[in-house]
Amino acid sequence: MTATIIDGNVIANRMREEIAQDAQRFKEQYGYSPGLGVVLAGDNPASQQYVRMKQNACKKAGIESVSHIMTKDSTQAEVEAAVAQLNQDPKIHGILVQLPLPQQVDEESILRQVSLDKDVDGFHPINIGMLGMKGRDPLFTPATPTGCMVLLNEIGATIEGANAVVVGRSNIVGLPMALMLIKANATVTVVHSRTKNMPDILKQADIVIAAIGKPNFIKGHWLKPGSVVIDVGTNRVDDPESEKGYKWVGDVDLESAQNVVSAITKVPGGVGPMTITMLMHNTMKAAWRIEQAKQR
Ligand code: NAP
C-alpha cells in the first residue's frame, strides 16, 4: 500500500482565501479590519519565527495585527499589562500569547487573564474545561488540534467509533486533541513518555495523532495497515545533502509508514499551515461575535 500524502498547504490556502473574503465583508460592514493582538515575551527564535508567520498570514488575509514584543526579562506585571491593554482595545478581537513565556512569568495566570471573548488560541482554562465536558462547547478550540480535525474531515476519515491514539499529552496539542476526538465520538487512548507498550497500542489505532517532538520515532511496522496518521511533530535534523545543512521531519518515520498506512500528513507542509489557518479562523469568529454583541 502506498499512502496518500496529505498536503496541508492546499487545504490551508483554500481556507485562507475564504477567510480573506470574510475579513473583507467584515471591513465593509464595520469600517475597519478585524484585529489580532500578539504578546511575545523573550528571545526564543522559534517563537519569533512563529509570530512572524502568523502575522504575515493575517496581513495577507486582511486581519490587522498589533504586537507587544517584550524582552526575556519581562515581569509578570508587564505581561499582564500587555494582555489588559489588548483586552480593552475595541479594535482587537483576538489575543495570542505566544508560549512558552519566560520562566519568571506565571503562564497559567496570564492565560486566565485573556478575555474569554478574545481567547482565539483556546487556552483559557474555561475554554479547555468546556472542551472536556459533555454537552458543553468552548467558544474557541486550540489551533493545532483543530487543524488536525479539519485534515481528518477533509480526507473523509471516519472518526466516530474509530480507535484513535494520541501520542503526547501536552496542553497545546495532545491533551486538547484527545478531548476533541472524544467529542467526535472516537475511542481515544493517550500515549506518553511513561507508556509501556506503545507499539502494541498503536497497532490497534485507526487514527494516530503524533505529537511528541522526536524525529522519526514511530516506525511503520508499529502502525495498523490502512490507518490514517496526522503527524504534528516538527523536528529539525542534520542533512548534509541540503543547502542549509538541515531538514524538518515528523515524529513518524515517513519512509516506513507510507507503505503501511492509507494516508499520512507531510512534514513540513501538513499540520503547520493548518495551525496558522485555524488561528485566523478563530480570529474571524471572535471579530463577528464581538461586533454583533455591540449592536445588541
Ligand atoms: P511537548 O510539550 O514537549 O510534549 C511532548 C509530549 O510527548 C509529552 O506529553 C511527552 O510525554 C510525550 N513524549 C515525549 N517523548 C515520548 C516518548 N518517547 N514516547 C511517548 N511519548 C513521549 O511537545 P508539544 O508542544 O506537544 O509538541 C510536540 C511536537 O509537535 C513538537 O515537534 C512540536 O514542534 C510540534 N508542534 C507542531 C505544531 C504545528 O503547528 N505543526 C504545533 C505545536 C507543536 P510526558 O507528558 O510524559 O512528558
3-state secondary structure of 158: coil
CA-based torsion, 42, 47, 168, 128: positive or negative: positive
Q: What is the pLDDT of residue 132?
A: 97
Structure letter (DSSP) for residue 98: P
Predicted TM-score (pTM) of this structure: 0.97
**Catalytic position from the list 55, 98, 118, 231:** 98
Q: What is the pLDDT of residue 45?
A: 87
Q: Is 244 an active-site residue?
A: no
Ramachandran angles phi, psi of 98, nearest 5°: -70, 125
Q: What CATH architecture applies to the domain 32-116?
A: 3-Layer(aba) Sandwich (3.40)
Q: What is the pLDDT of residue 222?
A: 98
Going by CA atoms, what residue is nearest to atom 41 of ligand 1?
A: 272
**What residues does each domain of the chain span?**
32-116, 143-272
pLDDT digits (tens, 9 = 90+) for 28-43: 999 999 999 999 999 9
Q: Is pLDDT of 114 > 90?
A: yes
* Mean per-residue pLDDT, 69-93: 97
Q: Is 121 an active-site residue?
A: yes
Q: Which atom of ligand 1 lies at the shortest distance from residue 213's CA?
A: 32
Given CATH 3.40.50.720, say whether it is the number of domain 143-272.
yes
**Catalytic position from the list 54, 118, 183, 266:** 54
The answer to whether residues 164 and 189 touch, using CB atoms and an 8 Å cutoff, is yes
Q: Is 43 an active-site residue?
A: no
Going by CA atoms, what residue is nearest to atom 24 of ligand 1?
A: 170
Q: Is pLDDT of 247 > 90?
A: yes
* Ligand 1 binding pocket mutation candidate from 193, 198, 230, 274 (most atoms within 8 A of CB): 193
* Ligand 1 binding pocket mutation candidate from 192, 201, 248 (most atoms within 8 A of CB): 192
Q: Is pLDDT of 46 > 90?
A: no
* Ligand 1 binding pocket mutation candidate from 123, 173, 229, 280 (most atoms within 8 A of CB): 173
Q: What is the pLDDT of residue 277?
A: 98
Cross-strand bridge partners of residue 205? none
Q: Is pLDDT of 282 > 80?
A: yes
Please, what is the average pLDDT of the chain? 97
The answer to whether residues 251 and 286 touch, using CB atoms and an 8 Å cutoff, is no
Instruction: Please check whether the two domains, 32-116 and 143-272, share a CATH topology.
Output: yes
Pocket of ligand 1 (CB under 6 A): 144, 167-170, 172-174, 191-195, 211-214, 232-235, 271-272, 275
Question: What are the DSSP E strand ranges found in the chain?
Answer: 4-6, 35-41, 64-70, 94-97, 163-167, 187-191, 207-210, 228-231, 235-238, 246-249, 263-265
**Catalytic position from the list 22, 55, 118, 121:** 121
Question: Residue 295 — pLDDT band, cuts 50, 70, 90?
Answer: confident
